[in-house]
Amino acid sequence: MKKLCLAAAAVVIAGAAGVATMTGSPEVTHAETVKVWKSPTCGCCAAWVDHLRENGFAVEVENTAQMGQIKRSLGVPENIGSCHTARVGGYTVEGHVPADEIARLLTEKPAVHGLSVPGMPIGSPGMEVPGARPYQVLSFTGGRTDVWSVEDPR
């Protein structure tokens, strides 16, 4: 019985450590489900969805040919658009935003409309090909954008 209790305690402690450090391991789970709208033929969008799942997010995907309409309805400014759009925890997520930045958004709960990685920068999640360069994750509210983070995938 004593060994069983010690083993159970170790599992609880290890699980808590995984959640606290946001290591990206499959043991990390997030309470929020990410709803993703994407083109049915977009390979990098599918790779980004895989990135989210690998980092503990539950993801619901809706394939659609109406991406412009979706982006407008969710308040994504045209100048910071990308290939897919998502909603999670009341926020809009546009493009190849890293899972750890989405987790940070959901933890900090800033007064922004959402996050965006404009375009499709090489090296961002779902765009992992040679030639990666640093890129910016932007927060946006209305027409205003601010740098949320600078990611360097090299």
- Write phi, then psi, for 89 (nearest 5 degrees): 55, 30
Domains of the chain (ranges; CATH) run 1-25 (no CATH), 31-151 (3.40.30.10)
**Residue whose C-alpha is closest to residue 113's, from 93, 97, 83:** 93
Chain CA centroid to CA 136, Å: 14
Q: What is the pLDDT of residues 107-154, one digit of tens each?
A: 999 999 999 999 999 999 999 999 999 999 999 998 899 999 999 999
The pTM is what? 0.82
pLDDT the model gives residue 31: 86
